[in-house]
Amino acid sequence: MPATDFDAERAYSDDQFSARGVFKSDHLKAVCGYFEPGQFIPVHAPDSDVVVHVRSGTGVVREGDTDHEVGPGDVVVVPAGVDRGVKADEGGRLEALLVTAPPPTDAEHDPVREGLRRGVFDPEAAKADD
């Protein structure tokens, strides 16, 4: 069984959030997520459940139509097929453990890549505004 900690995995990027994979199987994927202020995982709805456990910082976790304001120790669970995204507040960094089961496919991450390319947290809402 892999063992690590947030300090050992910590890596930030000026360009976008950093996801440091700590475990992956056919059934589950666990990553430590590191977000600079305002960075995000764009809203998407893969066919997998996700658990987001905030270690430090504050931000928002989207669950369907609900934005949960989160801080250290908070846990948000989003079922498969439901919109989800994570965004750090503008005032500081956010660190979280994200566990997905089963791991999303590469195709299911297309909205994430599009949102990062366009710099928008919710790519579908941004399309509607265009």
| Residues 95 and 56 sit within 8 Å (Cβ to Cβ) | yes
pLDDT value at position 66? 96
What is the distance between the alpha carbons of residues 124 and 76, in angstroms, rounded to a whole number? 22
Q: Where are the domains of the chain?
A: 15-129
Looking at residue 30, its pLDDT comes to: 96
Calculate Rg over the CA atoms of the chain: 14
Q: Does the structure show a pLDDT above 80 at 117?
A: yes
1 has a pLDDT exceeding 60: no
pLDDT band of residue 53 (cuts 50, 70, 90) is very high
Task: State what percent of residues in the chain have pLDDT above 70.
Answer: 95
pLDDT of res. 130: 59
9: nearest Cα among 25, 24, 20: 20
Q: Which two tokens stand for residue 5?
A: 């900690």
In whole angstroms, give the CA distance from residue 27 to residue 5.
22
Q: Is 90 helix (H, G, I), strand (E, B) or coil?
A: coil
The pLDDT assigned to 6 comes to 87
Q: What is the mean pLDDT of residues 81-86?
A: 97
Side chain identity at 94, as an amino acid letter? L
Mean per-residue pLDDT of the chain: 93
The answer to whether 55 and 64 are in contact (CB under 8 A) is no
Give, in words, the CATH class of 15-129. Answer: mainly beta
